[in-house]
Structure formats: structure tokens, C-alpha cells
Amino acid sequence: MLPGNARFIATMALSLLLPGYVFSQKNDTVTYTIMLSGTKKGALKIVQKAPGAYESWYQYNDRGRGDSLHTTWQQDEEGFPAYIHTEGKDYFKKWVTEDFSIAYGKAQWKNNAERDTIPVRRKAFYVSLQGSAGNIIKALKAHHDQIKLLPFGDASLKILNQHTVGSGATARKLWLCSVSGFYFAPEYFWTDEQDELFAKTSDWFSQIMAGYESYLPELAAIQKKAERTRSYQFAKELPEKVKGNILIRNVTLFDAEKAKLLPHSDVLIRDGKISRVSVGKSIAVTAARVIDGTGHTLLPGLWDMHVHFSEGADGILHLAAGVTHVRDMGNDSSLLTTIRAINNHALIGPRVEIISGLIDGAGPFGAPTGALINNVEEGKTAVRKYAAKGYQQIKLYSSLKPEWVKPLVSEAKKYHLRVCGHIPAFMTAAEAIEAGYDEITHMNMLLLNFFGDTIDTRTPQRFIIPAERAAKLDLNSPEVKQFIALMQAHHTVADPTLVALEPLLTARDGVLEEKNKFIVTHFPAQLQRDMRAGGSGLPVPPGMDATYRASFDAFLNLTKLLYDSGIRIVAGTDGTPGFDMHRELELYVKAGIPAEKVLQLATFGTAVYTGKSKMLGSISAGKIADMIMVAGDPVKNISDIRHTRLVIKDGVIYDPSKLYKAVAIEPFYEN
């Protein structure tokens, strides 16, 4: 699906982010350009109607999705909003409204998920769920760089850098500001001499004053350096590198090759490798670090086979949750630099085992990253470039013409690259398999096979049609059986990403999603609020609520059918690092796959699929020390996979509680 969440697109990397903030302007009108991966996709226009009174129009197009919001607001001389009214459509085109006001010591607000009134005894900055208003930088500066937020939480400010863009009359002196208190990592803003927003940049989504778009790479590079300074410090402080033996005693070992538990096991680690495994008998050896595994289960590190890896919090979130290996499914070229930094231990993160080169057709629905092509020859050139850079896989996307698929697959095979991806518009999954796809990503793409070849999968129809029709699909029908047989014959692999699809069909306003119930109270306050607000899914037409929910059940049922039919499933998320991996495994068990088999497919099974099982995927003597220890028994209760107490990657120990603290999450356990 590629990054693009209904509420959090402004700072996308994973999955849970914050709305972008807007700042007051002294000019009557100011316009910002909205950029997705360097391509203009929309605009924000702000008009000052009177002193402190503003009106804005915000709209962008991300493959047929994207917010379209109209906001009016009033703010005081310090930038604090006193009144806000927003209406329009959210990322998935659901109608939303929000109202806020503060007066006489009372703040009140109403939106699709909330309706509340609270007393206010000191100045506080309201954070909108929809739209944005006020000048948080000015507010912070007026209060010694620390303010209260509404409904709750605190924000703090740091000024990190100063830089000038342009020359002569167009020159603008800018400051890079870091604001903490909203997310796992600080939010970054470029402001001008009047403390007004000039730009906000990230790997996926950027906003910059119109006319200055060419300076985005320059500003992004400076910001990236500042972000990495923080990340490099974590990489020095958080890992525990042990000189000598590491001995884990009396742990229940998950034998990932046989998918069974082995109680009372000892595991000895030396120089980053597993030196010895003993079941039922203690290992008598002197160790520099002895770990008591009583009451815990030791498993190989998990593999998330569908991520779009970003710097910042991603690496820490993956590792803290026990994800030690990932496959990137589409990114910009900066990923190669990030991978080198992780491999050199300059950044904390999982090993990026596979990199996918994304190819899509150019046009209004083109992917927000990768190679956008206009013909087959351009596609073949892209394949060759990816191969030369060491990519192992090609991912084809929705805007490609169906007749381009087979020649692009053939070109990829020349370079021994696997091919996976979305099903292009007006093509079926069966046709993609026959054209040479090795793997199909997202369960909705598989289900669309049964609804004809006239669906424009470039648009949200790729979600809406399965939501409306999957509930009535007969999985015992000849059409389904024929398709399963085709997958079997071609050894086609499925990457369901159920966790990314679940909220699209089942999320409702004001309802906490099932996947967030265990974790919500540990998150920063503003993220807790957003999670509790729910409503991050598709607009549900009247009378279709039960159908949409039943259709997601069909997603689960087809996943189980694929498993029972011997189709390889690789566990991937396309969402929030770490936490969504746990939910993906829970959903497989909910679908009816035995928990021990789910754990196997997410560890040893994936190592086999990627050709790395000789050194990874199971806890065996001679293999790389790559494992996680969780409290409880995830075979008995798959949700125990959430209870990570220890992570070992390349023989280096990571304490999840310390990792979570580094990204503003309250630890789930203290070691």
C-alpha cells in the first residue's frame, strides 16, 4: 500500500503520526506546496482575514486519497488557538468536522470521535484531530520553550540550526526547530524570522512555502543530519556488547524448524554466534553475562516482510518488539545509506535483508516513490539500475499497463530478481501470476481476482470493492479452487498484510482498535488520544457496517485457506514498526492457523524463503545469535509475543525497556 494513513500522512514513516501544524502569516495570503517524495501533490492556502483571524484550504492527492479540509480559526498574540472550525474529507474521503473554543477558563471541543469540556487554569495549546491551527513555535517561545497541550500532554522546543535559502530579495533566514511531546521522535519544523512556518520535511511528505520547492533537498539534508545525531547517540548508549560468554539458563526454547517447544534449555553465545544448545541439561561454563530464562520463551528473531523503513524511531521500534529482520518494499535511494549505518552499528535497527525496487506507471495515481515509467523500455532500464545497486527484488505497482508486466518480469528474471507487488489496474491476480509474479502483496489484491478485470486498482476502489463484496465470496467455489491451484502450480507466495487492512474495514469513530488495546496506555499522550479516536478506516455507507466487518472475516478465511493449501505466507505489516507485527501474527491465529505454525512461518519459514536459513531462522549451534526472549508462552497464547524482555541481534543484547524509553514509550516491563 505504501505509507499513507488517513490521519498521519504529514509525517509518515510506519504507520501513527501527527497532523502537520500551520502557523500565522503576516501577509494577507500565503501558499504552501505539498510534496510527496519530491513530487507536487497538493497545496495549503492561508488567508489572514483580520488580526488573529485566518482561513485555510488544504488538499493533496495521494493515489486518489488525501485530505481536503477547510479551516477557520482565531489565535491570540502568542499563537494559541482560541477558536477552530474545520470541515471536509479525511484521507479516505470520509466527511469530518471539528470545533474548538476556549473562553472564561473553559475549553470545549467536538469532532467525529470526541465531545468534551474541561476547565483550563493556565494557557494550553489545542491539538486538532483534523486540520491544524495556531502557531506552536510562537507559543513555545512565549513560555520558555515548554507548554501544556490540550486535551493533555506537554510540548517542548529546541532550536537546532540556522540556515539561509535564496539570495537577494528572495533570501530567507530559517531556523530548524525540534518539538517534542507528540510522537516517538521529535517533530521538525523550519521557521522564519517571524517564527512562521516555512517548511516541514520528511522522507515521504513535505510542505514548503510556494516558490521555494527547489530548496527542499537542501533543508532535508540539514534536518537529516540533526536527526542522525540523536540516533547515533542512541546507538552508542543502548546496545549491551558483552565480552565473553553469554549464557541463557532454564528457558523454554522454541524449535522453529520443528515448530515445537523445548523446556529447560540452556543456550550459550560466544562472539556473536550460538556456541551450544542444551535441552534438559545445564551448560556448565563461566559466562560474563548470565540470563535467567525461567518462565520465558526464547525464539528466533521475527521477520517483518513488508516495511517501508524510515530513520528516526523505526529501527528502535522494530528491535524492541523482537523484529530483527525486515524486507523493504519500496523506498528512496537514501535507504542504502541507512542500511550501511545499521550494518556498521552506527544506527539501531533490524537487518534489512531484502530491498525491493518499486516500479510504477507515471501519472496522477503513480506511487509516491520508486521509478515512474512511461513505457516498457523505461521499465527495463529501471530494472537494470536496481540490479546494479544490489536490489534483490522488483515490486510492480498499480499504475502499470497490464501489457507491460510480462516484459518487465522477463527483464527482472535476467538479473535473478524476484517479482512481487500490487495487481495493476484492469488486470487480475491470475493474469499477474501467469505473467510471472512470484508473490502478491496485500490480501485485497488477491480477493480482487474474483471481481473481474475492470477495477481501477490505482484508486481506493482496490479497498472498497473487497470491502463490499468479499463477505459474499464462496471460498468453496470452482473459481476459488482454480485460483488456488494456479498459485500452487506457480509456487506463488502471499504477503497478506492483514494488520494494514483490518482498520480499513473495521475501524469506527470513537472506538479503540483491537490491535491497540494492549499498547495504548504506554504511548505519548497525543498518540493515545488519536488511537482512542479510532475512525482511521474507509467511509462506511449506510447499512454496510456488518458487510464490511464480514468482509474482513473473509480476508481471514482466505488466509487460512491459503495456508491449508500449502501456499507460503510471509508475515508483513506495512504499518507501525514492531507493534503491527505482533498483531499480524495474532490475526493469523485468529484465522485458524496454529500458533506454533505462525511462529514458524515468521522465523524459520521466512529464513528458508529468503535463502538465509543456514545462518538464521532457528536457535541452533553455529548460527548467528539472533533471538528474542518473551515472558510467557506464545504457543499457548500468541499475544505473549508482545511481552519482549530481551533481544539479541548479532550477539549484541538490547533491553526493550530501554529502547522504548528512548522513543517516549512507557516500558511494558522493567528488566
- The grid coordinates listed for 468 are 463490499
φ/ψ of 367, rounded to 5, equals -60, 150
Check residues 19 and 343 and name the one with the higher pLDDT: 343
**Same domain assignment for residues 209 and 306:** no
Average pLDDT over residues 507-531: 92
Q: Comparing C-alpha atoms, which of 422, 430, 432 is closest to residue 451?
A: 430
Domain limit, last residue, from 542, 568, 602: 602
Q: Identify the top-confidence range among 252-256, 510-514, 520-524.
A: 252-256
Domain limit, last residue, from 209, 237, 265: 237
**Same domain assignment for residues 311 and 205:** no
CA distance 655 to 356: 30
294-324 confidence digits (pLDDT tens): 999 999 999 999 999 988 899 999 999 999 9
Instruction: Count how many Cα atoms sit within 13 Å of the Cα of residue 401 in the half-sphere of its side chain.
Output: 12
**Same domain assignment for residues 425 and 310:** yes
Whether pLDDT at 264 is above 70:
yes
Whether pLDDT at 586 is above 80:
yes
Contact present, 308 and 13 (Cβ < 8 Å): yes
Average pLDDT over residues 135-156: 94
Please state, in angstroms and as integers, the Cα–Cα distance from residue 17 to each residue in 7, 448, 455, following that order.
7, 30, 31
Whether pLDDT at 28 is above 90:
no
Whether pLDDT at 14 is above 80:
no
Q: What share of the chain is helix, strand, coil (3-state, %, to 5)?
A: 30, 30, 40
Which amino acid is it at 546?
A
Q: Determine the longest span between alpha carbons in the chain, in angstroms.
A: 79
Determine the pLDDT at residue 36: 86
Whether pLDDT at 183 is above 80:
yes
Average pLDDT over residues 497-526: 94
333-377 confidence digits (pLDDT tens): 889 999 999 999 999 999 999 999 999 999 988 888 899 999 999
75-125 confidence digits (pLDDT tens): 999 999 999 999 999 988 889 999 999 999 999 999 999 999 999 999 999
Domain limit, last residue, from 217, 237, 257: 237
Whether the bond between 151 and the residue before it is cis, its omega within 30 degrees of 0, is: yes
Under 8 Å CB-to-CB from 482, ≥6 apart: which residues?
none
DSSP state for residue 105 in the 8-state scheme = T
Please state, in angstroms and as integers, the Cα–Cα distance from residue 476 to each residue in 454, 479, 482, 587, 612, following that order.
24, 8, 10, 22, 36
215-248 confidence digits (pLDDT tens): 999 999 999 999 999 999 999 999 999 999 999 9
CA distance 554 to 470: 6
Whether pLDDT at 575 is above 90:
yes
Q: Which domain holds residue 315?
A: 302-492+551-602
Whether pLDDT at 577 is above 70:
yes
**Same domain assignment for residues 323 and 193:** no
**Residue 259 belongs to some domain of the structure:** no
Q: How open is the CA angle 7-558-352, to the nearest 5 degrees?
A: 55
CA distance 504 to 548: 9
**Same domain assignment for residues 325 and 226:** no
Number of domains in the chain: 2
Helical H segments across 105-240, by residue range: 136-141, 216-237
Determine the pLDDT at residue 503: 96
Beta-carbon count within 10 A of 412 CB: 27
Determine the pLDDT at residue 18: 33
Q: Comparing C-alpha atoms, which of 303, 562, 538, 358 is closest to residue 443?
A: 562
Whether pLDDT at 293 is above 60:
yes
Give me the residues paired with residue 433 across strands: none
Task: Label residue 130 by pLDDT band (50, 70, 90).
Answer: confident
Beta-carbon count within 10 A of 294 CB: 9
**Residue 246 belongs to some domain of the structure:** no
With cell 531484502, the residue in question is 354
**Same domain assignment for residues 399 and 475:** yes
Average pLDDT over residues 559-581: 97
Determine the pLDDT at residue 353: 96
**Residue 650 belongs to some domain of the structure:** no
Contact present, 462 and 468 (Cβ < 8 Å): no
With cell 496522477, the residue in question is 364
**Residue 525 belongs to some domain of the structure:** no
Given its phi and psi angles, is residue 74 left (phi above 0), alpha (psi -120 to 50 degrees) or beta? Answer: beta
CA distance 150 to 81: 11
**Same domain assignment for residues 69 and 203:** yes
Determine the pLDDT at residue 3: 42
**What CATH number is associated with residue 343?**
3.20.20.140
Helical H segments across 312-428, by residue range: 314-320, 334-343, 376-388, 402-414
Contact present, 329 and 358 (Cβ < 8 Å): yes
Whether pLDDT at 568 is above 90:
yes
Element (H, E) at 606: helix 604-609
**Same domain assignment for residues 172 and 57:** yes
**Same domain assignment for residues 233 and 306:** no
Under 8 Å CB-to-CB from 243, ≥6 apart: which residues?
288
**Same domain assignment for residues 328 and 468:** yes
Q: Mean pLDDT over all residues of the chain?
A: 93
**Residue 615 belongs to some domain of the structure:** no
Average pLDDT over residues 4-22: 34
**Residue 522 belongs to some domain of the structure:** no
Whether pLDDT at 438 is above 60:
yes
Whether pLDDT at 536 is above 90:
no
CA distance 521 to 122: 25
φ/ψ of 558, rounded to 5, equals -70, -35
**Residue 342 belongs to some domain of the structure:** yes
Average pLDDT over residues 403-410: 98
**Same domain assignment for residues 148 and 49:** yes
**Residue 261 belongs to some domain of the structure:** no
Contact present, 626 and 616 (Cβ < 8 Å): yes
Helical H segments across 88-203, by residue range: 136-141
DSSP state for residue 11 in the 8-state scheme = G
Q: Comparing C-alpha atoms, which of 539, 520, 538, 522 is closest to residue 530?
A: 520
Check residues 6 and 93 and name the one with the higher pLDDT: 93
Average pLDDT over residues 40-44: 92
**Same domain assignment for residues 199 and 317:** no
Determine the pLDDT at residue 27: 53
Under 8 Å CB-to-CB from 481, ≥6 apart: which residues?
none
